[in-house]
């Protein structure tokens, strides 16, 4: 299972299709620098990514990493047809069961418009599609667009690629609920949903059915911060948006985003944004 942190979303590079006769093998490659996503429509590909077997039967898919060697373990036993997609990401990614190499939390720079909220999605390295024909339809359209070489066709390929990734994730087994990164994301979603309400660790633990200390550990490992720090950052982001987009009083905004104390709001805003709420608003209101 690979974990991808967005934004930005992974981007499509190119795609193709191939048919191997019985007895032919996939080429051996090492460190190609892009992700290789394979969809087999008939036959079977027998591969390995270093020591990890990647067997892709008809109706299945396989995802090869850009930084590892992959090789054929045995030739095709029958005629095998498959589509392939090369893609890359500028966002963070890692194995979902490994320590995070890059945290999903982003810093708030002085004067910066509210940031996009980081989120993660997971793609297994092998699996079977419940509705393979839907995926194949997308792949055939992406191939047809490949010949046009226009800005519109490239844009359309990107959209089809994102829909394809979404299908792969939705039809595959989701991460186990006990995994620390899954618990961290459940906690983050809870904090965003309830950011206007008074926060207590007890309520969060009751909502998620895990001990508060364990939830905090999961969030530190995944996001690099405690639940309270995450909530404070999220509240400040919401406040920034309201300061720019509305004429509401600053005290009212502080209350709307969940701060029970105006002085505490001002202190948190200054610490994270490097300025006062009033100065932040005026920065964006000047002609």
Instruction: Output the CA–CA distances (angstroms, integers) from residue 48 to 51, 69, 131, 200, 262, in the order listed.
Output: 6, 8, 25, 48, 58
User: Alpha carbon 173 to chain centroid distance?
Assistant: 16
* Separation of alpha carbons 109 and 271, rounded Å: 10
Of 2.60.120.280, 3.40.140.80, 3.60.140.10, 3.40.1710.10, the CATH number of 2-171 is 2.60.120.280
User: What pLDDT sits at residue 100?
Assistant: 43
* Separation of alpha carbons 194 and 13, rounded Å: 39
User: What pLDDT sits at residue 181?
Assistant: 78
Of 3.40.50.2300, 1.10.10.60, 3.40.190.10, 1.10.287.110, the CATH number of 180-285 is 1.10.10.60
Residue 125 Rama label (left phi>0; alpha psi -120 to 50; beta): alpha
Residue 112 Rama label (left phi>0; alpha psi -120 to 50; beta): beta
* Separation of alpha carbons 6 and 46, rounded Å: 31
User: What pLDDT sits at residue 134?
Assistant: 92
In the chain, where does the domain assigned CATH 1.10.10.60 lie?
180-285
Residue of 208, 260, 121 whose CA lies nearest to 219 = 208
Rounded (5°) CA angle 46-50-53: 35
In the chain, where does the domain assigned CATH 2.60.120.280 lie?
2-171
* Separation of alpha carbons 218 and 32, rounded Å: 33
Q: What is the mean pLDDT of each run of 10 residues along the chain (287 residues)?
A: 88 95 92 94 94 92 94 94 96 69 44 65 87 94 91 95 91 60 88 94 93 91 88 94 92 95 95 92 77
Two tokens, residue 94: 């890692």
The dihedral sign for the CA sequence 284, 285, 286, 287: positive
Identify whether 199 is preceded by a cis peptide bond (ω within 30 of 0): no
User: What pLDDT sits at residue 86?
Assistant: 97
* Separation of alpha carbons 71 and 69, rounded Å: 7
Q: Is 112 helix (H, G, I), strand (E, B) or coil?
A: coil
Half-sphere exposure of 149 (CA within 13 A, CB side): 1
* Separation of alpha carbons 161 and 203, rounded Å: 39
């Amino acid at each position: 299972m690979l974990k991808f942190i967005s934004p930005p979303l992974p981007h499509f590079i190119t795609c193709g299709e191939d048919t191997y006769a019985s007895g032919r093998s996939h080429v051996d490659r090492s460190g190609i620098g892009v992700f290789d996503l394979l969809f087999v429509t008939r036959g079977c590909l027998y591969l390995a990514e270093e020591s990890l077997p990647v067997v892709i039967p008809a109706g299945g898919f396989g995802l090869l990493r850009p930084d590892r060697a992959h090789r054929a373990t045995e030739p095709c036993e029958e005629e095998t047809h498959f589509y392939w997609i090369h893609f890359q990401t500028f966002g963070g990614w890692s194995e979902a069961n490994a320590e995070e190499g890059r945290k999903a939390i982003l810093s708030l720079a002085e004067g910066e418009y509210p940031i996009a909220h980081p989120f993660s999605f997971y793609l297994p390295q092998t699996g079977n599609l419940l509705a393979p024909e839907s995926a194949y339809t997308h792949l055939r359209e992406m191939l047809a667009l490949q010949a046009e070489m226009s800005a519109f066709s490239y844009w359309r390929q990107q959209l089809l690629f994102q829909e394809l990734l979404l299908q792969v994730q939705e039809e595959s087994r989701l991460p186990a609920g006990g995994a620390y990164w899954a618990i961290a994301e459940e906690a983050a979603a809870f904090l965003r949903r309830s950011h206007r309400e008074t926060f207590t660790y007890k309520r969060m633990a009751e909502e998620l059915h895990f001990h508060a200390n364990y939830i905090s550990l999961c969030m530190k490992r995944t996001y690099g911060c405690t639940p309270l720090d995450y909530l404070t950052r999220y509240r400040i982001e919401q406040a920034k948006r309201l300061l720019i987009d509305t004429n509401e009083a600053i005290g009212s905004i502080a209350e709307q985003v969940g701060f029970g104390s105006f002085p505490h709001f001002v202190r948190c805003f200054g610490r994270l944004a490097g300025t006062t709420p009033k100065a932040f608003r005026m920065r964006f209101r000047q002609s």
